Structure 1
Amino acid sequence: MSAIHHALVLNLHQPPGNLDHLLSEQPWEAREILYAYDRIPRFLWDYDDIARVHLSLSGTLLETLSNPEFQSRVYGIVDCGSLIWHLQNERIIDILGTGYYHPVLPLIPEADRDEHLARWQAIAGHLFWRNSFQGFWPPEMGFSMELIPLLKKFGYRYVIVDSEHVEPVTPMQWHELRYRPHIARHNGSEIIVIVRDRELSDAQESGMDYVWFAKELAQRTQCCDFEPLVTTCTDGENGGWFRNTTNEVNFWGAFYRELLDEARKKSLIQPAFIKDYLDRFGAYGEVTVRTGAWNTGWHHGRDFLQWTGSQTQKDSLARLQAVSMAVHQARNAAVAKDLTEEEQGELNEAFWRLLRAETSCNFYWGEDWVHRCHNDLDEAAACLQRYRVRAS
């Protein structure tokens, strides 16, 4: 049988200020998270001939890790400057684009989406010394077809979506739909869709061994008359499987080490960068993707119920729409004006407060963090009011 190409994708994200808060209130949890980040490149160094890992790092996480004050605070735990430097190693790590404040993109106002992508590319381009990123990781894997023109505008070649939501346009069998890249089209734009295997990703999140994984992949791809691409995606710093500081019992030592050791022996499963697979094999057929997100421990991801299930969540999202409209109206009207530095400052702060309010975590934890959204929206509204007073 031909090789099974395995694309490993890990999502890394911390809400604004969360690591600072944990360092003060739950220092061991903060250490576990930082160790989880630092462990990734250090583990892969010994396997730079075979290891291939995709990482998505939110803009807020990159902002924290690159902040000199934060770097100084955690220097005895992790050297964040060195960590960022090591993540630049394109031989073993491929960085995926995402949204700066980690919003569920289909849930936020369309007018705000560009800025999330632009701000992420600005900070990532600076920290990783590059001006293009081929793959896009939608925060929370929240995707809708209307995002395709936006992703193409920012130069992305492919986007990762969850298998639960992919439907064929071109007739194809189950194994073709799941283990081949496809084309999705919307309003004259098209992008390559990479399908995340939901069940295998669930196993990756909770803990598995290599023997089981190898048998499962062989069984799932046995009908493939092509070299399949199996994509597994999870968070990379949450849960004991990834946070455990003992390598022998965490993801890297208990699972991925054996996978890499076997891959060196030319085993059936070979780690792969998605971009390299696309260069060799291209995409097959057309699909459409239903609007939805990835699954959580208690929900399947359809209808974004994790973020919209309560009336409080719905009301907060409605307020986001209203404040966004007010901010953009003020910004658009100001284009033809000669603003003072103070006036421009108020508009700029109103905009970033709005963007930060859209962080997915503000809505994910039921109603526990919704107040964080409102705190930023309150500040955005106050900035607009001060701007109007200054401009009058």
Structure 2
Amino acid sequence: MRYLFNLSLVLLIFLFSHVAFGQSAPAANPPIYIAFLWHMHQPIYWPYESVVQTDANGRFPFSVTDIHNQRLGPYNSWPKNAVQKGINANMPHFGAQVSFSGSLVENLNALEANGNGNFSNWKSHWNSIKNQNTSLGHPRMDMVGFGYFHPLMGLINYTDIRKQIQRHKQIFSTNFPGAYSKGIFPPENAFAERMIPALVDEGLNWVLIDNVHFDRAAKGYPFNTGGNIYEPNKADVLNSDPNDWIQLQNIWAPTKISAAWGHRPHFVEYVDPNTGQKYRMIAVPASRYLGNEDGRGGFGALSYEAVMSQFEPYNTDPRHPILIVLHHDGDNYGGGTDSYYGSNFQNFVNWLAANPSRFVCTTIEDYLQMFPPDANSVIHVEPGSWSGADNGDPEFKKWLGDPGGDGYSPDINSWGVLTAAQNFVHTAEQVDPNSQNTQSAWKYLLVSESSDYWYWDGSLGGIWDSNPTRGANQAVSFASQVIANATDNTPPTIFIPQREPYNPGGTEWNQQMPSDFKVWTYAYDVSGLSSVKLYYRKDLDGVNSTASTDNEIYAGGPEVGEWVSVEMTGTSKISMTNPAPTVKAKEYSATVAGFSNKLIDYYVEATDSRGNVARTPIQHVWVGAHSGGGGGNNGFVIDGNLDEGAVSVAQNNGTNLYLGWKEGKLYLATESAQNKGKDVFIVISDSLRPPKAAMWAKSGMVSEWSLFLGNESTNNWSGWFDASSSPANAAGSVVEGLLDVQAEFGRVPGKLYIAVLHYSTPDGGVLENQVPAGNGNGNLEPDEFYEFDFSLTGVKDLPLSSELPGSYGLAQNFPNPFNPSTKIQYSVQEEGKVSLVVYDLLGRVAATLVDGYKPAGTYEVNFDASALSGGVYFYSVSVNGFRETKKMILNK
């Protein structure tokens, strides 16, 4: 018995020692940490006037002062009071981050000086709370770094980023004494890794980044268009699959997210392409969907318990616990209300107090001190902003919008103006940085970079669109006085190059893009340009390895090929601003063609007349399968004969509407006027609009169109009308047209509305037939169009190879199971009529994918089953007596 007792004691000691030293007993998960970023901003509404002057001059049809008065609480005591609730509850790490633009400080000071009692002594609240510290000695309210005028830093250069931050530091040192923050919330939460050197050189250690750009840069990211961003380019997908994708419930979250990896800080870095020097800082993820929801009203609007508890099973690393940063405007919508900072925030504090082992509110500085990221945890993040403007588009499209139907983009125009103005100011800085004229030039240039001026484009008669030019003209005026008769040692200024399409050879919004792509930019120098060249090279192994910097430096290395240079063509583009710009850069472009499934590096180099040279950062793009480029007709032949790949999508009274869709080009055809003895029209609209008088003086009404293809019965003449682009057309046995949808509409609309109309020939001729069939009242009503959603399957029936198959065959679809689309391949040994049909379990036809003659070859059809219910389906091919059937599963 004593032996058993001693043995039991030994076992207990053994077990205790293992528990004590953490060798085998399961440890409880750490708490999830929660942090806030409240964004406060107002712009300089008219560069350069104070808000008091702007109202006195009647610049806007509303009171600028009143906009500030409506935000009295957020700009004064509400944020302080919210943080104080956590302090009063004795929470050691409790606090918040706030981004406060320099222009807002300037505006509030102007209102205070003008006697506006709403902002009397407004800074005292901020200084009171920022001077209280957490248990680790960091400010309870971290007033983080920012760009003074709220610039879109991802689209401006190194020098201007630093100037914006330096100006912000200056106004903060006067108004909010104390150490400047070590972190930054970039305006619009817009980030690109090329910003890192400027941020690091300004002494910043960490940057907040919307974590959708973590997720989209990871392998295995479950993309879907519900996230309102098109597909990431493969060149950005460099991070390992975190394998922690979850679909959040009880919150608007249309895409799956990375639960843990995407909610932990990591290092990001940028390699100087000249020297190979690495610049590194910490990327703090801001939680996209939770930040959005919190901005609707805080605790209650976002169900903290129901949503955040979904992260707990993934929060298993005590050295790097999950950090959920709730980032949103602190002065707008639900996130700027009394209830957000008051009762709802008190409920948040009460919830924390009831769950201290599960959730902790922290400042970011406290979190990083307690849980620094591993030194070798370096990741890549995709460029882009937060959700509030352009959903985080990697091209920053809210501030770089595509041209409209008239070929003009106010956004792009402003960058052309600023590129020229920047060179004037940079040259003045080189000639005499201490000149008062140089300082004034900087003031007007930097205010011209306010992102608000792009955000509100198209409104108020173009006031916002003209503000960049308004400020740039004054910057040029001051800089010109400094650089006159001085030696120009400043290199040209080049706008960060853009490309079109963004995913060459890949897909955007599930639509195939051509593999050839255009690179365009603006370039300018006060001494004139002698050359602007595009340089590109291919990666030799298809991978931008994190183990080397060959792709990141101009000098290259064994993993990349030699640079190829192409002269870029410069074009002067008109401006539609009031005032007109004093100077504007030319737009330069060149095409990269002929690559297939290759990783391409590229940059632009400009040389001025004095031999000064500038180079842009090296950018990377994955080019998918070669498709012959975007300059041709993408396989369609416009010769008056029906294209073999066209599909009849609607019929009525012996007349067909034929469509084809390939690589952004829409093919349209119908039986010609000569064939029918009637005037024939193919009408296209990007939206449903009220009817207006019919075209060509015909009788009746036609729902308003975007453009139409007309075909005259007397001579079979055809032509496009009201087109913004230059679509092709021809008439023979059919009248046919080919439309570049992106060029025509400046985007790919969600749907196009298409109809065929037949009128008797004379003026006043009546509507005699239409496709689809109408109600017979002689008008084309808005509900009588064929709705084309770019997902027709038969249109995408493409030959895969020029090699002739040795037998007939039907391959298993891939992927399988699938949702919502899959690919089906079949082989035709000899020319014949092919039928490829999908059946449900009861043998009913669910879809006819192919019904027509095909020459010998192997073909692939993309079957989009979005309109079908989930379940088991069969697909069957028959041709020349051969028949084969296979099973597939639609997993909805």
Name the TM-score class by shorter chain: 0.7 to 0.9
Q: RMSD of aligned C-alpha atoms?
A: 2.6
Q: Deviations over 1:177-224 (max 9, x none)?
A: 222111111111111111111110110122354482222011033222
**Mapped partners of 2:325, 2:126: distance in 1:** 25
Tell me the alpha carbon deviations over residues 327-361 of structure 1, each in whole angstroms, 9 at most, x when there is no partner: 111221236xxx8xxxx222221111001100110
SS at match of 2:476: helix
Match of residue 319 from structure 1:
417
Cα deviation code 1:97-148 (max 9, x no counterpart): 0111110112123331111111112222333222331211111111111111
Give CA-to-partner distance per residue, 1:146-175, whole Å, 9 cap, x none.
111221111111111011211353553422
Inter-partner Cα distance in structure 1 for 2:294 and 2:36 = 10
Q: 1:360 to 1:219 in 2, by over 3 A?
A: same
Alignment partner for residue 379 of structure 1, among 474, 482, 499?
Answer: 474
How many matched pairs? Answer: 379
Distance 1:43 1:278, change over 3 A: closer
Q: 1:58 to 1:19 in 2, by over 3 A?
A: same
Aligned pairs (5 A) from 1:1-392: 1-17=29-45, 20=52, 25=63, 28-38=66-76, 39-48=78-87, 49-50=90-91, 51-67=94-110, 70-76=112-118, 78-91=120-133, 92-166=140-214, 167-168=217-218, 169=239, 172-173=242-243, 174-187=258-271, 188-207=278-297, 209-210=299-300, 212-226=303-317, 227-239=321-333, 241-244=334-337, 247=338, 250-267=339-356, 268-284=358-374, 285-296=377-388, 299-310=391-402, 311-334=409-432, 344-368=435-459, 369-387=464-482
Secondary structure, aligned partner of 1:233: strand
**Aligned-partner residue type, residue 439 of structure 2:** N
Secondary structure in structure 1 of the residue aligned to 2:348: helix
Matched position secondary structure for 1:206: coil
Question: 1: CA distance between counterparts of 2:211 and 2:118?
Answer: 42
Supply the AA of the counterpart residue of 2:332.
N
Higher helix proportion: 1
Deviation at 1:265, TM superposition (A): 3.6
CA contact (8 A) 1:183 1:283 kept: yes
Question: TM-score normalised to the size of structure 2?
Answer: 0.40
Distance of aligned partners of 1:220 and 1:297 in 2 relative to their CA distance in 1, 3 Å threshold: farther
Please say if residues 263 and 270 of structure 1, whose CA atoms lie closer than 8 Å, have aligned partners that are also in contact: yes
Of stretches 351-360 and 289-298 in structure 1, the one that deviates more from structure 2 is 289-298
Distance change in 2, residues 1:386/1:183 (3 Å): closer
Contact 1:36 1:242 in 2 (8 A): no
In structure 2, the CA distance between the partners of 1:231 and 1:264, relative to structure 1 (3 Å rule), is same
Q: Shift in Å at residue 74 of structure 1? A: 2.0
2:36–2:97 contact (8 Å) kept in structure 1: yes
CA–CA distance in structure 1, aligned partners of residues 240 and 182 of structure 2: 25
Cα pair distance change 1:134/1:280, threshold 3 Å:
same
TM-score normalized with structure 1 length: 0.88
Larger of the two Rg values belongs to structure: 2
Say if 1:180 and 1:195, in contact at 8 Å, map to a contact too.
yes
Cα contact 2:158–2:197 (8 A) shared by 1: no
Q: Distance in 2 between matches of 1:158 and 1:115?
A: 19
- Measure the CA separation in 2 of the matches of 1:102 and 1:76: 24
Q: Give the conservation status (yes or no) of the 8 Å contact 1:159–1:192.
A: yes
Give the distance between the partners of 2:299 and 2:206, measured in 1 at CA: 29
Check whether the contact 1:108–1:321 (CA below 8 A) recurs between aligned residues: no
Tell me the distance in 1 between the aligned counterparts of 2:285 and 2:345: 21
Cα shift at 1:388: 5.5
Separation in structure 2 between the aligned mates of residue 197 and residue 81 of structure 1, nearest angstrom: 29
**Higher-RCO chain (CA-CA 8 Å, sequence separation at least 6):** 1
Amino acid at match of 2:448: A
* Structure 1 pair 281–388 and aligned structure 2 pair: CA distance change class (3 A): closer
Partner secondary structure for residue 393 of structure 2: coil
Tell me which residue corresponds to 2:732. none
Relative to total residues, which structure has the larger strand share, 1 or 2? 2
Structure 1, unmatched stretches of 5+, are none
1:62-105: CA deviation from partner (whole Å, max 9, x where unpaired): 223345x6345222455324234334334331111011111011
**In structure 2, the residue corresponding to 1:221 is in which secondary structure?**
helix
Please say if residues 306 and 366 of structure 1, whose CA atoms lie closer than 8 Å, have aligned partners that are also in contact: no
Query: CA, structure 1 residues 384+224, in 2 after alignment: closer, same or farther (shift >3 Å)?
Result: same
Tell me the secondary structure at the aligned position of residue 288 of structure 1: coil
- Provide the rounded CA distance (Å) in 2 between the counterparts of 1:45 and 1:156: 27
CA shift digits 1:49-73 (9 cap, x unpaired): 3341111111111223345x63452
Uncovered stretches (5+) of structure 2, i.e. residues with no partner: 1-28, 57-61, 134-139, 219-238, 244-257, 272-277, 403-408, 488-892
**3-state secondary structure, aligned to 1:289:** coil
Structure 1 residues 200-258: Cα deviation after superposition (integer angstroms, max 9, x where no partner): 0110122354482222011033222022111110010011x1344xx4xx212343211
One-letter amino acid of the counterpart of residue 181, structure 1: P
- Does the aligned pair in 1 maintain the 2:80–2:126 contact within 8 Å? no
